[in-house]
Amino acid sequence: MSGGKVVVVSDNEFEQTVLKSEIPVMVDFWAEWCQPCKMLAPTIDELAGEFDGQILVGKLNVDDNPNTATNYGIRGIPTLLFIKDGQVVQQIVGVKSKAEIKKVIEENLG
């Protein structure tokens, strides 16, 4: 489901991979059964390719990794968290257009 540029993140790796990342991170919180998540997946893959080397794009399955989702108060999916220097700088809930997500990346993670 994920392209080569998207990193699968788990509860165990979240701090190391995301919070300690030297580049900004966009994390997609999703689940297998979530249709909107599946609709958003190709957009996430495209953005991962476009911003390769500038940001890290991760996907975290909320069913397999409930701790991280709970820690960040994820109530609805898909949710995208934009994290810079270990801090959440922006959050998007629901399916958004590629242009909308790209704008958030450029404004918050550039």
Active-site residues: which are they?
Answer: 34, 37
Contacts of 16 (CB under 8 A, 6+ apart): none
Contacts of 107 (CB under 8 A, 6+ apart): 90
Closest by Cα among 66, 70, 62 to 31: 62
3-state secondary structure of 32: coil
Per-residue burial over 27-58, b = 16 or more CB atoms within 10 Å of its CB, e = otherwise: bbbbeeebeebeebbebbbbbbeebeeebbbb
